[in-house]
Amino acid sequence: MKQLRNNVIRAGLGALYFSGAHHLLRPLLSGVGAIFMLHHVRPAREAVFQPNRHLEVTPEFLRATLCHLRSRDIDIISMDELHERLVQGRFDRRFAAFTLDDGYRDNLDYALPLLREFDAPLAVYVASDFAEGTGRLWWTALEAVIAKTEQVDVRVGNSALRLDATTPAAKQATFDRLHDWLRALPGEHDLAREIEALCTTYDVDMAALCRSLCLSWAEVKTFAADPLVTIGAHSVSHCNLAKVAEDVAAQEIATSRARIEQALQRPVLHLAYPYGDREAAGMREFGLAATAGFKTAVTTRPGMLFADNAAHMTALPRVSLNGNYQDARILPVLTSGAATAMWNGFRRIAAA
């Protein structure tokens, strides 16, 4: 199912590019700017089984994106400035902001040098447990479990399942099955219990994965010292905020921010909702972020920015730089707004 959707989107992007329709749609859909969303930035890896590949782009693709924006004379600005331009209605020049979620060390190693080269600001949203070295990167842990075994024995509800993991295709199918199951579990505790059980059975050290991939507090501080860098909050535990009680969600937001402010000795004014889709961030979360005083909060809902987004500053859409589509030919489609409009069924704003 996921593969089918990916194929449709891929065909869609290709069709948009080759038909040239994105040129025609641009005045209508490109809006005033865009916020790009990234996760890992690192060199491509050899393994065939890479179910989380959508969460990483290569430094070369990031460079191509930066070159494309510069060639279009699009301003690359910080989230503070983006907030200011939206508030003031200053749209004489188109703009883009770069945001990187979770707080991965490769952001410091690969993204920062490139962004410096282009004098381009970036925002990194840190989940405080990740910087603490105790984060639950369950999607990475699930990949590690399936990568190292030929079958996964797991109890899903009342049935004991034995899932094939002998070939890359079988591993992918097993990953999709378990990923969907884990994300659909009723509570964060259920997710924690099940992924920890899998890690114990298949001898995967989730804390070690976290420490090897994520910026430590010392590294976050180093990162933040660069004037191009804004550090934002991304909750404490990277939980689905919409699935927890309201006081817990408020606590996740407030505590992560306090922890980062304590480490950096500066205010944290920007937030990214973990997962950030409709099932993870809705009206309640947008309100919590506004009440907490964040200037902006970003979702993972696809979309360009329009003047109207100024009225929904804690429900901002983004444009994903998705590792599955690292082809420089899609960049004009992405910046035309045609791709996100396609994903939204050609609605401009999806803030409710």
Residue numbers at the binding site for Zn ion (CB under 5 A): 101-102, 274
| Helices of type H across the chain | 2-19, 21-29, 59-71, 79-88, 105-106, 112-117, 128-132, 138-147, 168-184, 188-201, 206-213, 217-224, 246-264, 283-291, 331-336, 338-343
Shorter beta-carbon distance to Zn ion: residue 125 or 306 = 125
CA separation for the pair 302, 176 (Å, rounded): 22
Shorter beta-carbon distance to Zn ion: residue 132 or 327 = 132
Shorter beta-carbon distance to Zn ion: residue 68 or 211 = 211
> Measured in whole angstroms, how far is the alpha carbon of residue 131 from the centre of its chain?
17
Nearest residue by C-beta to Zn ion?
A: 101
State the minimum distance, in angstroms, from the CB of residue 273 to Zn ion: 8
DSSP category for residue 120:
-
Shorter beta-carbon distance to Zn ion: residue 127 or 349 = 127
289: amino acid identity, one letter = A
Shorter beta-carbon distance to Zn ion: residue 86 or 241 = 241
CA separation for the pair 350, 352 (Å, rounded): 6
State the minimum distance, in angstroms, from the CB of residue 41 to Zn ion: 14
- Burial classification of residue 10, based on how many CB atoms lie within 10 Å of its CB (0-12 exposed, 13-18 middle, 19 or more buried): middle
Shorter beta-carbon distance to Zn ion: residue 30 or 296 = 296
Shorter beta-carbon distance to Zn ion: residue 210 or 333 = 210
State the minimum distance, in angstroms, from the CB of residue 234 to Zn ion: 6
CB 245 within 8 A of CB 284: no
State the minimum distance, in angstroms, from the CB of residue 252 to Zn ion: 13
Helix, strand, coil percentages for the chain (3-state, nearest 5): 50, 15, 30
State the minimum distance, in angstroms, from the CB of residue 101 to Zn ion: 4
CA separation for the pair 342, 180 (Å, rounded): 24
- State the Cα torsion 147-325-72-301 to the nearest 10°: -80
State the minimum distance, in angstroms, from the CB of residue 238 to Zn ion: 6
State the minimum distance, in angstroms, from the CB of residue 6 to Zn ion: 20
